[in-house]
Amino acid sequence: MNKLAVGIDIGGTNTSIGLINREGKIFYEHAIPTQIREHFEDFVADLYREIKLGIEQLNEPCQIAGIGIGAPNANYYSGCIEDAANLRWKGIIDLVSLFKKHIDAPVFLTNDANAAAIGEMIYGGAKQMNDFIVVTLGTGLGSGIVVNGKLLYGHDGFAGEMGHIIVEPNGRLCGCGRKGCLETYVSATGLVRTAAEQLANFNMPSSLNATPFNQLTSKQVADAANSGDEVAKAAVLKTAKILGEALADVSVITSPKAIFLFGGLTKAGALLIDEVKHHMEKNMLYLFKSKIQLLISELGDNAAIMGASALVWAELENQQ
Amino acid sequence: MNKLAVGIDIGGTNTSIGLINREGKIFYEHAIPTQIREHFEDFVADLYREIKLGIEQLNEPCQIAGIGIGAPNANYYSGCIEDAANLRWKGIIDLVSLFKKHIDAPVFLTNDANAAAIGEMIYGGAKQMNDFIVVTLGTGLGSGIVVNGKLLYGHDGFAGEMGHIIVEPNGRLCGCGRKGCLETYVSATGLVRTAAEQLANFNMPSSLNATPFNQLTSKQVADAANSGDEVAKAAVLKTAKILGEALADVSVITSPKAIFLFGGLTKAGALLIDEVKHHMEKNMLYLFKSKIQLLISELGDNAAIMGASALVWAELENQQ
């Protein structure tokens, strides 16, 4: 009988559900819109119905080892989503308890970046590693830090908020209300902001000149950079430099064996990655020089549900 | 029968040896010069002799639970001191193995800042805490980070080098060869450097004007600041601001319950500490605001040997 973990990734727009075995094989996958239900309880009932549908479609009996959920502002310790800015349900939502009303199986919750790190450890490039960091480069910048084979949650469950290291005092305004946070420079949004800044700096022909700021995408900037657009290239290189320097700083704190980059921004390719590596090494403390690998995540397009499901295996194996 | 741990603190000038019980009571303490022996083996033999002398002087039988050693550039994993700049013995010294030739007891090695953190956990203000940071403010800045009740060593044993976060790109030259490291600003040496900088900035009467740079001490600067010397005060406040900002950054990585400050610089008192707290809170991510305590270490003058001996209790209790 197949032993499967349910992986659920709650995003601002869609929520994906998957059934995945310990080896990372996906047996079922489906997505539903996240925010059509007024009451969170109804949304949870929808999710449970989707899981049951998935199990029915397998055409063979299976055992559900547990449910892993990745969600914004998720608190691993409390099992709650706390004040998520991009969800319609406000305040503190006790997701794990609500789920347990439907199913008699272990339910685990963590945030998206932590789920990505656990996914890398269970299914991806960090299988043999006890100490590593996964940096997720999406709309914002998240990080999941694994120390001694376990996710670093810290005192209140919110450790690993690397996107909110301040890299530029009085720098760019951040969604968190402060200024100069890493993610205002290094993220899809950050790259677009830097491209706009470089357009102003260079004031020369560029394929980006014709697109209004609010329509510019990080993919467009990365593609232009890789096609030789000087302004776009300057934006990518500046982004890489800031990331490389930040990674060198974080390395002296947690001493990882490797740092994995994950998410859309990594598709900017060697232009970005080589420059990140260059600045990371240039700024690295001698104790760690040439010792910390910079790698691309080995999780593919289904990384979000894989990461969420990986949480189940990691938790059950830790309990043994 | 008393069960005691041996705590040894190897410093550049002196090495202290203590016999301490689980409650932190010191039964014996003695110091010898560190660097009079040409061969490290002879130095270890001296240390062993001192331990035996200490035990003899107790006038009652005792059981030695183990030996804990704090040393510069110590690697917990390998049990070696690696390329310590301020010791006469060069290269990689296998201290733990050398010690085990003399005594049939567990021997543990870690660096000074880690020992301070373990000491705080076993004997001091962090007894009930699983996640906290100890920042040692001496000649340099060290840090010991406890996560989930255990020291964060990272992949190669050198995690927690918070003194080498770069806080000022192209800033002050650091002993590590790079520029702008936190400890070039926040440490006894850093405060003296900032005082010299402020003398230049202010160019006004100050009690510090009459002392050559190479004779200026951090205590002198702190005392002058507390006596109302405006230039010295500006130096202390700048030091505090940089430390507060750095602590806010590190907090988003490891999410501690508390941060303990330790070492001579803390004697600058409320002028320094209140300003550190102010800037730490001002720069804190909303998730952690008003949640992380800034405390002064509760270990007293014998902190170094206490921290080293605490390593023994922590290791033995972890093994249970």
Residue pLDDT, tens place only, B57-67: 998 889 999 99
Residues B42 and B110 in one domain: yes
* Contact call for B283 and A164, based on CB within 8 A: no
Give pLDDT, residue B59: 83
Is the domain of B147 the same as that of B218? yes
Instruction: Give domain status of residue A247, yes or no.
Output: yes
pTM over 0.80: yes
| Residue in A161, A256, A286 closest to B287 by CB | A161
Q: Quote ipTM for the complex.
A: 0.90
Domain-located, residue A52: yes
User: How near does any CA of chain B get to the CA of A279, in Å?
Assistant: 12
pLDDT in tens, A232-277: 999 999 999 999 999 999 999 999 999 999 998 999 999 999 999 9
Is A254 in Cβ contact with B154 (below 8 Å)?
A: yes
Q: A306 with A292, same domain?
A: no
Instruction: Give yes or no: residues B174 and B142 share one domain.
Output: yes
Residues A174 and A279 in one domain: yes
Residues A205, A283, single domain; the answer is yes
Of A154, A164, A287, the CB nearest to B131: A154
Contact list in B for residue A157 (CB cut-off 8 A) is: 255
Asked if A245 and B166 come within 8 Å (Cβ–Cβ), the reply is yes
- In this structure, the answer to whether residues A51 and A69 fall within a common structural domain is yes
CA distance B192 to B208: 10
Tell whether A231 and A117 lie within a shared domain. Answer: no
Cα–Cα distance measured from residue A250 to residue A60, given in angstroms and rounded to the nearest whole number: 47
Distance CA B320, CA B313 (A): 11
Residue A13 scores a pLDDT above 90: no
Is the same domain home to B89 and B106? yes
In a domain, A192, yes or no: yes
List the structure tokens of B131.
Answer: 């996640």
Chain A residues in contact with B154 by the CB 8 A cut-off are 131, 147, 254-256
Note whether B177 and B55 are same-domain residues. Answer: no
A64 with A86, same domain? yes
pLDDT tens for chain B, residues 1 to 320: 889 999 999 988 899 999 999 999 999 999 999 989 999 999 999 999 999 999 999 988 899 999 999 998 899 999 999 888 778 898 999 999 999 999 999 999 999 999 999 999 999 999 989 999 999 998 899 999 999 999 999 999 999 999 999 999 999 999 999 999 999 999 999 999 999 999 999 999 999 999 999 999 999 999 999 999 999 999 999 999 999 999 999 999 999 999 999 998 999 999 999 999 999 999 999 989 999 999 999 998 888 899 999 999 999 998 77
pLDDT at A302: 87
Residue-wise pLDDT for A170-219, tens only, equals: 999 999 999 999 999 999 999 999 999 999 999 999 999 999 999 999 99
What three-state secondary structure class fits A241? Answer: helix
Task: Give residue A300's pLDDT.
Answer: 82
pLDDT exceeds 80 at position A5: yes
**How far off is chain B from A162, nearest CA to CA, in Å?**
6
Predicted local confidence at residue A193, as pLDDT = 97
Interface contact flag, A131 B154, Cβ < 8 Å: yes
Residue A25: give its domain's CATH number: 3.30.420.40
Q: Is residue A28 part of a domain?
A: yes
Distance from CA of A165 to the nearest CA of B (A): 5
Say whether both A258 and A311 belong to one domain. Answer: no
Is residue B118 within 8 Å of residue B314, measured between CB atoms?
yes
Q: Is residue A287 part of a domain?
A: yes
Q: What is the residue range of B112's domain?
A: 2-121+301-319
Distances (CA, A) of A128 to A50, A97, A148, A247, B114: 34, 33, 12, 21, 26
Domain count, chain A: 2
Q: Which residues of A touch B175 (CB under 8 A)?
A: none
A127 domain residue, yes or no: no
